[in-house]
Chain A
Amino acid sequence: MGTHVSQTDLTPEAARDALESVEQMKRAGGQRGEWPAWFFIMETVYLAGVITAAGVAAIHREMSIVIIAVFLCLPGIWFRSKLLKRRGAFLRPNWIDAGILLLLVALQIGSVAVGLWYDVDWLAWAAGPTWAAARLIRIAYKLRRAEAATGEPRA
């Protein structure tokens, strides 16, 4: 099976070489699983638009627009899963990114509740762009970090 670990394999130099190759492979894996920035930006704009429309429509009690907006999310989900499979590698879920996505839902539910209570819609109009700005900052941060790690521009 070739699993014997000889003493000579365990020199500090050999360990350093092994750690170096591990770092390289981790980076390669991360890059394979990473989604392109254009997809994140498009998804952010799309989701912010759809959710803002749904929130504002809900405040104005235009339920048909709310239903259309919810259905408009479906092609996005379909496209996301298609793209994921095409890349052949999925990154592990990142709790910060998941948290930012949940923030959109929380912001919009909150703004709709406030909007219905006080009969104002400006909060619902602001929620989508606010969230989009937060997510775009996060994308920019991730790109900058990836650039710093690899020394290559990632946009």
Chain B
Amino acid sequence: MIKSKIDPVIHAPIRLQICALLSPLLQAEFQVLRDELQVSDSVLSKHIKQLEDAGYVKQYKGPMNGRQRTWVMLTGKGRKAFDTHIEALQEIAALAKTKPPEV
């Protein structure tokens, strides 16, 4: 039951971190995400594309300091999927507390 709530798109560590980083934000610039996650541009682009294909994030070009930059934001669908995924992770983590120790 819990496993069905795990979102396979968000489950990958980098994508989970992207969603987590974007969750308190309205939008973030691509470089901010790259610096915080400490991954290369190409790796980040690949993961953002996968999230975008699932409809979880939206990308657009906008000016910043006189230059066109890529901004990324979590969509409503993405926010909901992320919350559900976190709920499932919390349930799994709680299993360790409720399970009797194996002898």
Contacts and interface: CB of A to CB of B under 8 A. Distances in A.
B22 interface: yes
B39 interface: no
Contacts of A33: 24-26, 28
Nearest to A92: B26
A90 B23 CA distance: 11
A80 interface: no
B62 to A, nearest CB: 8
Contacts of A10: 2-3, 6, 92
B63 interface: yes
B11 interface: yes
B9 A32 contact: no
The majority secondary structure among interface residues of chain B is: helix
B21 A26 contact: yes
A65 B66 CA distance: 35
Interface residues of A, number: 34
A5 B3 CA distance: 9
A13 to B, nearest CB: 7
Contacts of A18: 13, 16, 89
A88 interface: yes
A89 B12 contact: no
The majority secondary structure among interface residues of chain A is: helix
Interface in B24-79: 24-29, 31-32, 36-37, 50, 63-65, 69
A22 interface: yes
Contacts of B26: 33, 90-93
B20 interface: yes
> By CB atoms of chain B within 10 A, which of A28, A85, A89 has the most?
A89
A16 B93 CA distance: 5
Contacts of B95: 12
Given A22-B20, A29-B24, A88-B32, 15 more contacts: A19-B89, A19-B90, A22-B89, A26-B20, A28-B36, A32-B25, A86-B65, A88-B28, A88-B29, A88-B31, A88-B69, A90-B28, A91-B25, A92-B25, A92-B26
Interface of B: 2-3, 6, 8-9, 11-13, 16-17, 20-29, 31-32, 36-37, 50, 63-65, 69, 86, 89-90, 92-96, 99
